[in-house]
Chains A and B, each alone.
Chain A
């Protein structure tokens, strides 16, 4: 089955699969940010006069929660565009 495929093409394909798998990390921040936004909406409903502070704190917390997703994104970008595995193979 793998007869017509060169090693370079195989590594590139595997890198693309790895990039896709790395983006599964996006699930966590999605859930976390949604949770924070829901709680923020609740807080605004309870205390409408403190809306500025609530929104500011919510955005800050969401940005910190986003970090793990960004790490996944950076790994995916490195796999797709920098191609460290291909370079490692060519240097063997």
Chain B
């Protein structure tokens, strides 16, 4: 299913690709999910055992809290909400190929935006923890002549982070598209196993890796 939007705004042709529309759908799904959870958690009483739905949400929150504690340290637990948001957006976005939509993460603009958020958070916390002079001094370590390499290495982080997610998801989309067009009516016999690998396995793994690397970069900048 592809939903492309073409509009005329102020006399200019504007083309919105289906990946962007799909990321709006993901946002709507997540917003509705958050509203439902908020509503249920306010109504829940502490005397009774939690319902099945709330139990699943609690397990998710506890897992992410534990992951943040073990990778970034117990004093940086305030970062858990951002990581959980990232995990949920990426999870739903990567699994979107299962229901016939194009995954939003197969658009480079989406993954690059996420990687840029990580990059700017890293720079911000590096600036905050080491101060104005310390921030620039960090680049000259361990030796002064390595400064260009350090700057390049810092700039390469968002590029490799975004290309990793983008390449993995897009390669799945391309291979599935080729198979669907080559096999025609026979496609439903062979593609489910590939959906299991490219969408479920690869998608969940890349979600984990993206959030894990985000935690490591930001945690490293905070120390």
Contact = CB atoms under 8 A, between A and B. Distances in A.
Interface in B174-208: 174, 205-206, 208
Contacts, number: 30
A59 B160 CA distance: 16
Given A77-B170, A77-B174, A70 B163 contact: yes
Q: Helix, strand, loop or mixed for chain B's interface?
A: helix
B171 interface: yes
A70 B161 CA distance: 11
Interface string A64-84: 101100110110010000000
Q: Helix, strand, loop or mixed for chain A's interface?
A: helix
Interface in A44-60: 56, 59-60
A63 interface: yes
Interface residues on A, range: 10 to 19
Nearest to A68: B160
Contacts of A77: 170, 174
B212 A66 contact: no
Contacts of A70: 163-164, 167-168
A77 B213 CA distance: 25
Contacts of B213: 60, 63-64
Given A59-B209, A70-B167, 4 more contacts: A63-B164, A70-B163, A77-B170, A77-B174
Interface of A: 56, 59-60, 63-64, 66-67, 70-71, 73-74, 77
- Top 4 nearest A-B pairs (CB, nearest first) are A70-B167, A63-B209, A67-B160, A73-B167
9 contacts: A59-B209, A60-B213, A63-B213, A67-B160, A67-B163, A70-B163, A70-B164, A73-B171, A74-B167
